Structures are given as C-alpha cells and as structure tokens.
Copies of this chain bind each other. A is one copy, B any other.
C-alpha cells in the first residue's frame, strides 16, 4: 500500500473523527477527492476499498460510499490508549476484578472478604428476607431510601456539615456517582484536575468522557499549591477531583492550611471540587475536609460503602446543593430509572442503624493499624519504603529500591500469580515509575518472598 493511499485513508478517518463527516453521510466522490488531494482516482479507489474492508465506510451500489455506523467499527474500546497495559487503568481494573481464584492481589483496592463485616451482612440479609413485599419487589424512589438519606445527613451534621436529607442522593455505586456528576457538569474538551498520583479509575472514567486530564503533584499534606495555582491559571479546569481523608493511593491527609488555601484558590478561579470520602471512616478522627469548610458551596461530597461494608451490595451517595441533587436525580432517572438496588441500600441502612457498621469500623481501624506496622517492617527489609505512614486505611504507597522499575516488577511477579499495582497506573504524568501501591490487608509472607526474588532479577 502506497503512502498516498494511506494519506487518503487518514484524511477520511480524520474527517470522521473531527465529525466533519457524520455516520451515514456520503463521503467525497472519488474524482472530487482525487482532485482535491492531488492524487489519482485509482489511489482513492484503493483507499476506499481498504476503508470498506476496515468497516469504516460502506459501499451502496449505484450510490457511492457512506460513513458506516459505529456498530460496524471493530475498534470500539473507549479511548484506546497507547499505554502499556500494566499501567493502563482499564486493564488493571479488569485484571483485578476478574482474577482467577488463588491469584494474589496485594495491590488491589479492597479488603478480603474475611475483613468485611460478614455476620452483620448475613443478619441484614435475613432481616430483609422477612421484610414487606414492597421492599423486595418495588423500584426504589428516585433519590433512594429516605431513612438511609436521613442517617447520612445526620452523619454529616455530626461532622459539622449541617445538611437536609434532600441534599443527599443515593446512587448505584460510588463509581456511578462520580460518572453522573461528570456527565452533568462536564462536556468533552473540558479540563479536569486530578492529583498525581490518583485513583486509576478516575482516569479511565475521565477518558471515557473525553475530558482533558491535568494532574497536580500531591505532597504529604495535600496538593502542591503552587503547582495547583499554576494549573488553574494555565488550564482553567472546570473540576478538581480528590480524596481529602486518606488519599488514594498515598494515604496522605489534607492539612488545615492546605485545605483553606485550596478553597481560596477554588473561589478565585471558580473551580468546582468533588471530594470523594469513600475511605474516610477508616480515619482515627476527623481530618480537615473541603466539603465541611466550604459548606457545599463549590464542593460536592461523594462516598460509597463498597470499601468499608460490602462491594456486593453496591451503594453510593452524593451530598450537594439542592439544585445539583435535583438535576442529578433527573439524570439518574433518565439513565437508570432510579438509584441503588433497594435490597443493597437496605443492607447499608440496617448495618448503619443497628450500629454493626460502626462497631466493625472501629475494630477494622485497629486491625489495619497492626497490619500496616507489620507490612512496613517486612517491606523495609526488602528496601521498599512507604512514602508516608498513613493515619488509617489499607494503602501503603511505597518506593522501590534505587534503580528498580515497578512495571518490570509487576510483569515478573505476574508469572507467579501475583497482580501488583505499579505506580504509573496512578500517575497520569508518569512520575511514579518506581512506586507501588500495596494493600496491607492483602499482603502475606509468600508475597514478600516473591517480591524479594523478583527484585533480585529485575532492572
């Protein structure tokens, strides 16, 4: 195939990507395009034949060539990236979710089943099995169960953030909560700020939405404010997405001064902030929180029970200004005809109401603290050093010994049935090539042995 043929094919693909040519539209005539591009008609014919074979255009005999509908495209993956799959957020997510039984996941983002409140969940399920017919069969209300929203509103009030239950919306999951907010507030081409490093599925989601991702280095006290201010000035982002309590993956906690100054910058640059509180209950005590300081003027609080109660009963929530909750409710009804599965939401409500969730969290904090100490000792023997010791949670963001590369390490131990989370999957800017995120509830002696072995072999 000649260069000229490729040029013609690229020109057509480009017009489709830029939406100068829409699905179903007739593509330029062979002679017309040949004249315009200064090539022979036979070159255009060859290019069109190849585009037909690729399913990009189709031929309507006697009528010409037309842009095919997307369903004919074989490459439908959302925003295919050139990333090595070991640091491709989507690949890492699917590997973790779909790993065969027996595969170890010391970097994954959840605790093992035996760390979750099994007895409480089982008791809740039995209670639900005895509930009213309506709970077991009906659609939930558009905002999700009122009782659970009241409980969440009361928790906010106890933290110093007084909210109405009508400022709380239940959604199908924490991830879906973020997706809905982004669909409402963002358009393709908008810019979103994230931390460097940040939760990798934030990046996968933002790519699906076609928004531009700009990352700001994260310090041990929150985002680097100088870099943050610069990013605001240069990129004029619409949104900033972060965790303040036990940031994923670093485990860092926002300091009061950083929180306050961050909000001043947000006000100056009209920035909306989404603060994901999913790990917050694992803190020993309440740290500075943007939503609480700001009173939900420009901060939107989101959370989920998947990490601290059960990922099998998906239930997320958002706390925000009433008009935002109203618009999100409409969007939730149009796209999902309601919120979380009422059965799932009821599991959450029961365990919150009967105190079993709280009891479990208190015990888990202690268990995690011990596991964190043990893990960091074992890791330091291998020369793997936590960047900071988190106040809570299950993550350790660790730096490898000098000269070691996390992706190489991950590829090596994959052969021994271990899935690691190499640093650059969390860093859109690629600054964490020598870091790993580890989960102290998922590590075991065998993992340290494999890591030691692998460290000796890799570059």
Contacts and interface: CB of A to CB of B under 8 A. Distances in A.
Interface of A: 19, 22-25, 58, 66, 68-72, 74, 76-78, 89-90, 93-94, 97-98, 110, 113-114, 116, 118, 121-123, 125-126, 128-130, 132-143, 172-176, 179, 183-187, 189-191, 201, 204-205, 207-208, 236-239, 270-272, 298, 300, 306, 310-314, 323-324, 326-327, 329-331, 333-338, 340-344, 347
B175 A238 contact: no
A141 B316 CA distance: 19
Number of copies of chain A assembled together: 2
A71 B185 contact: yes
Contacts of A324: 71, 76
A201 B337 contact: yes
A298 B71 contact: yes
Contact of A77 (B173, B189, B239, B327): B327
B138 A311 contact: yes
Contact of A97 (B74, B125, B141, B331): B141
Given A311-B139, A341-B314, A329 B69 contact: no
A333 B97 contact: yes
A238 B312 contact: no
Question: In the complex, which of the residues A130, A176, A327, A336 has the most CB atoms of chain B within 10 Å of its own CB atom?
Answer: A336
Contact of A125 (B128, B142, B335, B336): B128
A118 B270 CA distance: 51
4 tightest Cβ-Cβ pairs between the two chains A and B: A24-B236, A113-B133, A76-B327, A125-B129
Given A78-B327, A110-B139, A313-B343, A333 B70 contact: no
Contact of A58 (B69, B97, B270, B333): B270
